[in-house]
Amino acid sequence: MKRDIRVYLEDILESIAKIEAYTADVTLEQFRENGQIQDAVIRRLEIIGEAVKHIPDNIRVKHPDVPWKNIAGMRDVLIHGYFGVNVERTWKVAKENLPLVKKEILAMKAESA
């Protein structure tokens, strides 16, 4: 049974909210030193990356500001290249890139309602 796009959008938004909560009062240095937070953020980025793979192309093209391929690609690196995860890059994605993605996903959710 195929899932509705809104379910994937909710998965993405839930993961972003959890990443925001995990990193809310955390500095980069604290993030570097805390394996549990890293693991939690990485897992949620994996979920986001998997979910974006299920967003149809006709929807993606309406939101070109979302780096769809980069998000999916990061998921692949995190899953398959787990031994070489770049902590600073993961932090940057969590703190700088996800706010834009969140904004676009919220817009997509409103459009699909």
Read off the pLDDT of residues 81-105 as tens digits, 9 standing for 90 and up.
766 788 999 999 999 999 999 999 9
From 6, 44, 80, 89, active-site residue: 80
Distance CA 15, CA 9 (A): 10
Active site residue 60: no
* Whole-number average pLDDT of the chain: 92
Structure tokens, 37: 């937070």
From 32, 44, 63, 75, active-site residue: 75
Q: Give me the mean pLDDT over the 11-29 stretch.
A: 98
For helices 35-52 and 68-80, angle between their N-to-C axes, nearest 10 degrees: 130
pLDDT reported for residue 82: 60
User: Which DSSP symbol is given to 78?
Assistant: H
Put simply, whether the predicted model's pTM sits higher than 0.75 gets the answer yes
Q: How far is CA 55 from CA 17, 61, 64, 83, in A?
A: 19, 10, 13, 28
Distance CA 70, CA 75 (A): 9
Active site residue 54: no
pLDDT tens-digit profile of 54-70? Answer: 999 999 999 999 999 99
